[in-house]
Amino acid sequence: MILHELIDYGTLRVIWWLLLGVLLIGFAVMDGFDLGVGMLLPFAGKTDMERRIVINTIGPVWEGNQVWLILGGGAIFAAWPPLYAVSFSGFYLAMFAILAALILRPVGFKYRSKREGARWRRNWDWALFVGGFVPALIFGVAVGNVLQGVPFRLGSDLRIFYDGSFFGLLNPFALLCGLLSVAMLAMHGANWLVLKSSGPVAARARSFARIAALATIGLYALGGLALWLFVDGYRITSVIDPSGPSNPLAKTVETSAGGWFANYATHPWMLLAPALGFVGALLVLWGLRSGREIGTLLFSKLSIFGIISSVGLSMFPFILPSTVQPGASLTVWDASSSHLTLFIMLFVTVIFLPLIAAYTAWAYKLLWGKVEEDDITGGGHAY
């Protein structure tokens, strides 16, 4: 038997669908809190020293956190080539806006303290705000568009044609999802500041965390209601071959109102995901009231896990529906790389993903503790 045949093609596809979810959730959990801190920087810190404390809570870790974004993009490119081709071409201007905002982050961190002027530093503080707010908003808008379907079609030779526009992505439901993403990551960032700071900064962070947690609960509920009432779901009506060739055109698809909720009726255990989205945010409110600093951060991670998981579970097996040619929608079963490619990548991932996780855990353990004013004035490596 050839080695890669130890795991059948259909199972490998599901494994890589799960791994893609792990990487996307990993990015939201790990890089999400420093995006949230960036959004809160102009508000959590009132004086220059307070803002330096805010920046230095994420200063040693933000670059390493972005590894998860690179891993997620790489996984899409290697495991789901059609998904990469459609999303990175159709969402090109959106991706460019994210990239431009993310570029502001390292520049802001490095240049903010190059001059003593209050105006200079204030401008860079707002640049860091943009570097946190814009990616959080656009990532959420992208998820909202994926749930609604994207205007792309496939030719008979599987060439991809995108019929949409950048401003078409900014529709009401997608913007609602964008606001949910902003609230969710602001909650996460505020909980990080509660854990890593003290005094007035931590007190303000607690207030922002409460507001963001309530906003997360409200927007998530509103998003679910809008998904049920106004967004059509997709369903495969032809025979599914989990180990068949990667040809999205070899199936038939129909749409129906509220169709994204069908999986919950078929598999009730999936309801655990949206439940965790709500319960995690509610536990954040409880943790803030009871003074559980580590707990509130873990609870916000739980909420993020539930919210993002609910999207993937609702859509399964679809990963990118098409609004103009539903039969061309990309699914787990027909948009993956070859059997051998998925197996080799899985072998590499099994080796390197635990190493990345172990190194990350070691780095956070080494940098454990609150950032105080003495750490800023007495440390030559502080921002």
Q: What is the pLDDT of residues 335-382, one digit of tens each?
A: 999 999 999 999 999 998 898 889 888 888 888 889 888 878 766 667
10 Å CB burial of residue 192 (0-12, 13-18, 19+) is buried
Here the tokens at position 120 are 């200079």
CA angle 62, 366, 103 (to 5 degrees): 10
pLDDT tens readout for residues 181-224 = 999 999 999 999 999 999 999 999 999 999 999 999 999 999 99
Q: Which residues contact 47 (CB under 8 A, 6 or more apart)?
A: none
State the pLDDT at residue 22. Answer: 92
Q: What is the pLDDT of residue 25?
A: 94
Confidence (pLDDT) at 164: 81
Q: What is the mean pLDDT of residues 251-267?
A: 94
Q: Is the pLDDT reported for residue 303 higher than 90?
A: yes
Express as a percent the part of the chain with pLDDT over 90: 69
Residues 6+ positions from 64 with CB-CB distance below 8 Å: 360, 363
- Are 122 and 58 within 8 A, CB to CB? no
- Distance between CA 308 and CA 301 in Å, rounded? 11
Question: What pLDDT sits at residue 92?
Answer: 85
Is the pLDDT at 1 greater than 70, yes or no?
Answer: no
Asked whether residue 297 carries a pLDDT value surpassing 80, the answer given is: yes
Residue 253: pLDDT band (50, 70, 90) is very high
pLDDT at 2: 62
Q: What is the dihedral of CA 371, 377, 378, 380, to 10 degrees?
A: 90
Among residues 69, 93, 17, the alpha carbon closest in space to that of 320 is found at: 17
Nearest to 285 by CA among 178, 153, 360, 190: 190
pLDDT digits (tens, 9 = 90+) for 318-329: 999 999 999 999
Predicted pLDDT at 3: 57
Asked if the model's pLDDT at residue 51 lies above 60, the reply is: yes
- pLDDT class of 7 with cuts at 50, 70, 90: confident
pLDDT computed for residue 380 by the predictor: 61
pLDDT value at 121 more than 80? yes
Give me the chain's average pLDDT, please: 92
pLDDT in tens, 122-174: 999 999 999 999 999 999 999 999 999 999 999 988 888 888 887 888 899 99
Tell me, what's the pLDDT at 379?
61
**What is the pLDDT averaged over residues 19-27?**
92
* The pLDDT of residue 65: 86
Verify cis geometry, omega within 30 degrees of 0, for the bond prior to 317: yes
- Using the predicted structure, report yes or no on whether residue 294 has a pLDDT greater than 70: yes
Per-residue model confidence (pLDDT) at position 304: 98
Neighbours of 46 (CB within 10 A): 12
Stronger pLDDT, 59 or 141, i.e. the higher one:
141
Q: How far apart are CA 5 and CA 343, in angstroms?
A: 9
Please give the structure tokens belonging to residue 295: 């707990």
Residue 213 has a pLDDT of 98
Mean pLDDT of 94-101: 91
Q: What is the pLDDT of residue 169?
A: 87
